Amino acid sequence: MQLRCVCVMGVVLFAACSRVDQPSRAEAATAAPASAPASSTPAPAASLDPSRGKEVGLMFESFLSPWQEGDEEENTPGSTPAKFKSTTPSQSRAQREAAGHRAHGMLRFSNDLSRAWVDVRVEGVDLSAVNMFHIHCGRPGILGPILVDFAQATDIKQNLADGTFSVELTDEHLVRTAAAGEGLVGVATMGCVIPSPSLGSNRPVKTSTIAGMAQLARQGELYFNLHTTGQTYFGDIRGQIQRAETHEAS
């Protein structure tokens, strides 16, 4: 205990003295410490499992229709190489829609982006007339180069014989597709050319991995195109590939 007093003109005024209590050493020693700052490091992840890399992660879907084709087959440019021209009579987009030409496709990626799986259900199309089936790069209405030529992975007609097409893709199939082109036309139409600033320039390179394919899908830059002998240039039915939407059961 201490006395705090007031001194005026050398005279101590005891009446003005007040008592001030100070904690003892023992009390000071047992006083609660100040709170420590919270740690900025989060707790470790609860579960790390590398084997989950093989599970399905990203999922995309597409609804193919004649109306997503950029134009009518009769407007195929005259300079088109023979392999991309129709060899049997063509139908208009309205005629094909009336005949029920349509499809629903799914594109799924493994978490580690080492694999992709394609499943497509086709209706209304004469499957015996199918001559090509691809995944192209391009935005709606644009004819883009071929990223995946399914002929590099499977027998298209045999696979599609029952109306359902299924295939597993790896990096190898993208590399095969890009390498399949011959001459200037092949270079321009086979494989998706993308800029690569990471190389220190805008030198174009072709997508050669499933990871690159997934990136293009995220950007909305991929579409399915099913071609037939009567709709070879533009294609019979086409569908932009978009992130799959899940709907809760009502």
Question: What is the per-residue pLDDT across 210-232, written as a single tens digit (0 to 9) for each?
Answer: 999 999 999 999 999 999 999 99
Q: What is the pLDDT along the chain (250 residues), one digit of tens a residue?
A: 554 544 444 444 444 444 545 555 555 555 555 565 666 788 887 788 898 898 889 999 999 999 999 999 999 999 888 888 999 999 999 999 999 999 999 999 999 999 999 999 999 999 999 999 999 999 998 999 999 999 999 999 999 999 999 999 999 999 999 888 766 666 678 888 766 666 555 566 788 999 999 999 999 999 999 999 999 999 999 999 999 875 444 3
pLDDT at 231: 96
Distance between CA atoms of residues 75 and 211, nearest Å? 36
pLDDT tens-digit map of 179-219: 887 666 666 788 887 666 665 555 667 889 999 999 999 99
Handedness of CA 72, 145, 59, 195 (dihedral sign): negative
